[in-house]
Amino acid sequence: MKGDTLKGHLDLLVLSVLADNPLHGYAVIEQLRERSSDAIDVPEGTLYPALHRLEKAGLITATWGVVKGRRRKSYRLTEAGRRQLTEERHAWSQVVAAVAAVTSGVR
């Protein structure tokens, strides 16, 4: 999937994969690939700025642990993040429905 297609929707994607379980950064990328059957392949260098921005906005929160002898930062959704996710899902479904309505007659 082209980068421009994903542009502006990375926050929604990240919040969505964090909705079920806390995940560390690499697991977020893996989840995005798995759930989209490899269609969504986020440039890895761009994920962490997005995670940190969402953390700063209070939509996700992070905790540090030790796994395999390494420090690991895991992210989970906050209540504010859950509300934001609901709003963004609703907005996205409206966009999808609108685009589908316009393009459905196109051959």
* Residues within the interface to another protein (CB under 8 A): 1-3, 6, 24-27, 30, 41-46, 48-50, 52-53, 56, 64, 67-68, 70-73
CA angle 94, 95, 101 (to 5 degrees): 90
Q: Which is nearer to another protein, 6 or 12 (CB)?
A: 6
Q: Which is nearer to another protein, 16 or 74 (CB)?
A: 74
**Minimum distance from residue 3 beta carbon to another protein (Å):** 4
**Minimum distance from residue 106 beta carbon to another protein (Å):** 25
Q: Is the dihedral of CA 42, 34, 18, 70 positive or negative?
A: negative
Q: Which is nearer to another protein, 2 or 107 (CB)?
A: 2
